[in-house]
Structure 1
Amino acid sequence: MEYETIQLVKENRRGILTLNRPQAMNAMNDVMMKELADCLESLQNDAEIQVLIIRGEGKAFSAGGDIKAMVNPDAPMDMSLVMGDITRLAKNLYTLPMITIASVHGASAGLGFSLALGCDIVIAEENAKLAMNFIGIGLVPDGAGHFFLKERVGIPKAKQLIWSGKVMTGHEALSLGLIDEVVAEGKAFEHAEITATGILHAPVKAMIASKQILHTQNIHELERILSLEATSQVAMRKSTDHLEGIQAFVEKRKPSFKGE
């Protein structure tokens, strides 16, 4: 299948899924969200692939949701469709019958960070900028960001990271247990390929079975969180704070939030 904003390459039991909007730091517009959801859904029954690497083209993994697209009056986002695609994206990522590896360089923010955290193994470069920074534009995490954060660091720390929108380096994220490995700048994808090769030389079928056993028990919780995220995000998109947040972003100034 041909895609406009992503690329999928398959070879020797591995797949490489590339976010391909480098001119926008791989920020996710509605087209990319739908294509990612469609692609991950199609991989559910793909017996060719046992390891999937997810990476970003250009200078970043993904800067998150495309804020410029959010404020485009000529093509306004249909939030019900967008949240449906984000829900499909996150659920299919979590339930993929293969080992997933995020190769993170540059920015991995917002929905881009949710995507990375949803992978089984997260490898980030030491100078990467990782943040669950929805709060900066008056939104809640989506893409199962609440679920993936809680899985990795627990509820108290997840709340702190969501509420602060803290931007972390690779080493800071590793120290919190958010990611699995830190590598030198420019080495994330190379290390992801080495990791994938090692997995493919291991009893990977048994590894995938263990993943499915561990993940299956959490699917109902994931679905509940995704539903709550979708409902909350639609509501937050109408809030005064969100409108102020995106306007301040566009104008490159500090937002003035009022809790409304």
Structure 2
Amino acid sequence: MYKTLLFEQEGRIATLTLNRPDAMNAMDETMMEELAELLEDLKENKSIQVLIIKGEGRAFSAGGDIKAMLNDENPLDIDAAMDYLTRIALNLYTLPQITIASVHGAAAGLGFSMVLGCDIIIAEENSKLAMNFIGIGLIPDGGGHFFLKERVGIPKAKQLMWSGQLFNGKEAQKLGLVDEVAPDGAGHATAAAYAQKLIESPVAAMITSKEILHLSKIHDLQAILKGESKGQSAMRKTADHKEGIQAFVEKRKPTFKGE
């Protein structure tokens, strides 16, 4: 049993639901650990050929749990967190299933990294997608650098990471960040229909093509994850990060100094 996830299998289709709705599915250390373990288990499960990933409640995921970052009594272990995120990104990228992200509400920061790691991305019209780590003086993690550049190329990836810009479903689709846009409220139904269509196709051939295409990129992903772990640990110690967090809590514009 998982504390922060729901997992259901129906035939060859499974659904993984991020389940911290009161926190907009923000990822705390428990969710990171459970995601790493679940995705590792899925790598050995040949009975599942399509995996839908979605969020419970009002959002896909608001990203990393900022409240956990501010908890002085039980502070976030950044090294342990980065280890979990490395495992999540590598396992997600190498899953022997076709993965579909079903996005409604916010998919921000770490939540957006996970969305971008999926093979197919379906977002509702008024979903809110952003690689917005920059707002609190951090860098993308969870493979965000890799997955974003795979989608849009390095020059555009830099612009999106540095701006932290927010996009709705249609805007994200124009940039190539999203494959299909669904009406508000119909995201999961659209993803389920897409999954059924895949199951009625020669999906074993699709999975094999995915494995071949991803095989040549694994070393690249591993190198980026190593860089993210080192870089994020360093960014967590900066004055800009502390100012970004404080400004977020106080609901004001941060004053960054590049330190």
Scaled to the shorter chain, the TM-score interval is over 0.9
Per-residue CA deviation, residues 58-98 of structure 1 (Å, 9 max, x unaligned), is 00000000001100111101111000000000000000000
Identity %: 64
Distance 1:53 1:200 in 2: 12
* Residue 240 of structure 1: aligned partner: 239
Q: How far did 1:194 drift?
A: 0.1
Query: Match for 2:187: what amino acid?
Result: A
* Residue 198 of structure 1: aligned partner: 197
* 1:172 matches 2:171: yes
Q: Provide runs of 4+ in structure 1 moved above 2 Å.
A: none
Paired residue secondary structure (2:43): helix
Distance 1:182 1:193 in 2: 14
* Residue 112 of structure 1: aligned partner: 111
Paired residue secondary structure (1:45): coil
* Residue 149 of structure 1: aligned partner: 148
* Residue 213 of structure 2: aligned partner: 214
* Residue 13 of structure 1: aligned partner: 12
How is 1:239-258 mapped onto 2 (pairs within 5 angstroms)?
A: 239-258=238-257
* Residue 100 of structure 1: aligned partner: 99
How is 1:58-69 mapped onto 2 (pairs within 5 angstroms)?
A: 58-69=57-68
Paired residue secondary structure (2:113): helix
Query: Match for 1:96: what amino acid?
Result: L
Distance 1:220 1:129 in 2: 31
* Residue 224 of structure 2: aligned partner: 225
* Residue 79 of structure 2: aligned partner: 80
* Residue 4 of structure 1: aligned partner: 3
Per-residue CA deviation, residues 177-202 of structure 1 (Å, 9 max, x unaligned), is 01100010001100000000000000
Q: How far did 1:175 drift?
A: 0.2
* Residue 22 of structure 2: aligned partner: 23
Query: Match for 1:85: what amino acid?
Result: Y
Query: Match for 2:109: what amino acid?
Result: G
Paired residue secondary structure (2:74): coil
Distance 1:30 1:45 in 2: 24
Query: Match for 2:127: what amino acid?
Result: A
* 1:184 matches 2:173: no
What count of residue pairs does the alignment treat as equivalent? Answer: 259
Distance 1:57 1:252 in 2: 26
Distance 1:47 1:159 in 2: 37
How is 1:24-39 mapped onto 2 (pairs within 5 angstroms)?
A: 24-39=23-38
Q: How far did 1:48 drift?
A: 1.3
CA RMSD of aligned residues (A): 0.4
* Residue 122 of structure 2: aligned partner: 123
Distance 1:89 1:181 in 2: 24
Per-residue CA deviation, residues 215-258 of structure 1 (Å, 9 max, x unaligned), is 00000000000000000000000000000000111111111100
Distance 1:47 1:162 in 2: 36
Distance 1:99 1:193 in 2: 13
TM-score for both structures, normalised by structure 1 = 0.99
TM-score for both structures, normalised by structure 2 = 0.99
Ranges in structure 1 where 5+ consecutive residues have no aligned partner:
none
Ranges in structure 2 where 5+ consecutive residues have no aligned partner:
none
Query: Match for 1:9: what amino acid?
Result: E
